[in-house]
Amino acid sequence: MREILAVLDRWYGARVPFGLATVVAVSRSAPRGPGAAMAVGPDGEVVGSVSGGCVEGAVFELAQEAVQNGAARLETFGYSDEDAFAVGLTCGGEITVLVRPVTPARDPAFGAVAASVAGGEPVTVATVVDGPAPRGATLAVWPRTAAGSLGTRGLDAAVAADARGELALGVTGLRHYGPHGERREDTVTVFLQSFAPPPRMLVFGAIDYAAAVARIGDFLGYRVTVCDARPVFATPRRFPERAEVVVDWPHRYLRGTRTDERTVICVLTHDPKFDVPVLLEALRRPAAYIGAMGSRRTHDDRLRRLIESGLTDQELSRLRSPLGLDLGARTPEEVAVSVAAEIVALRWGGTGTPLSGTRGAIHPRGVG
């Protein structure tokens, strides 16, 4: 959704109705996760994708029908369909898609949501998927306000409370309630889609490897900051245009920077006077990944210094050092790929084993 929101906002601002299809549930090897979106606008213009090409033709027609009849519709596509090759997921997965019409009258908060996403302000959009509530109704929830309605005040209050909790973690998925927000019932299915600001990647040490890691971090959607105390290395021209470049001592910069459970920290300084102080700070704060570059000898020396500085075994267990997966990487770009692979594997519980040597589902159930 984030990728196509600028186009949707333009259509919305021109008061042109469009059909919006959103993946609300997946199983097995579905190619796109919950939140993937495709829209059909004026003159049949299409933006986005819900399956990478498998079911787009069918979804295109459903979106046009939604605009014409003004009704939301829920459809499931899967390999088990008899016409799977023509209108299904030939990769073997299954997706459930909610298709709904969007107009200013039906969705008055859409423009505010688009503005919040563009401005990096966190917001969650809750949409009724199924049950005794208006299918396709939406409630936009910000940390302190909300707009729209799912049908009843009780349902709005329960969903808004849950949405604010999920928003802090950037979670997207289905939730179940009673018609008036009863938490012990599951007759109403609501899709919560959180638009949290992009996660941060903090790269310490402005070396060639840092430039490559910053580029791949930017490609993966992180908001990248590169920090080094040496101004001769910390120059913006060496890094991606969108990367922030800071001249400061790494530990001092990190001490004044907020991190959360999605933050990635890569320590590439390769110098004890830089990397030990910043790791002491990093390993005592929230982060999704903390990795440090260096040889086995460098790692052993660094570990000794960190232990002498008072870090516990539990704190040290969070350190990925030497960072990256064993890909045989040599160049800065290859090393960056190995680092990115480890970050992705840690995020989703992957093993780093070649898929050709594994069995079972490629995407375990419950993993987007």
> Model confidence over 234-266: pLDDT tens digits?
999 989 888 999 999 999 999 999 998 889 999
Q: Kindly state the average pLDDT of the residues 126-141.
A: 96
At 24, phi and psi to the nearest 5? -110, -15
Q: Are 19 and 38 in contact (CB under 8 A)?
A: no
**Residue 91, pLDDT score:** 56
Task: Answer for the pair 227, 253: CB distance below 8 angstroms, yes or no.
Answer: yes
Q: What is the pLDDT of residues 108-123, one digit of tens each?
A: 999 999 999 988 889 9
Convert the pLDDT of each residue in 44-95 to its tens digit.
Answer: 999 998 886 678 889 999 999 999 999 999 999 875 444 444 444 555 568 8
Q: Please tell me the distance from the alpha carbon of residue 365 to that of residue 362, in angstroms, as a whole number.
A: 9
Amino acid at 107: D
Q: What is the pLDDT of residue 291?
A: 97
The chain-wide mean pLDDT, for the chain, equals: 89
Annotate 110-156 with DSSP letters as a single string: HHHHHHHHHTT--EEEEEEEESSS-TT-EEEE-SS-EEE-SSSHHHH
Tokens 């000898």 belong to which residue?
A: 297
For range 295-312, the mean pLDDT? 93
pLDDT classification of 168: cutoffs 50, 70, 90: low
- Between the alpha carbon of residue 51 and those of residues 2, 24, 91, 208, 214, the distances in Å are 16, 12, 10, 37, 29
- Please give the Cα distance from 360 to 310 (Å, whole number): 43
* Among candidate residues 130, 124, 120, the one with its CA nearest the CA of residue 145: 124
- HSE (CB half, 13 Å, CA atoms) of 23? 27
Q: Is this model's pTM higher than 0.85 or not?
A: no
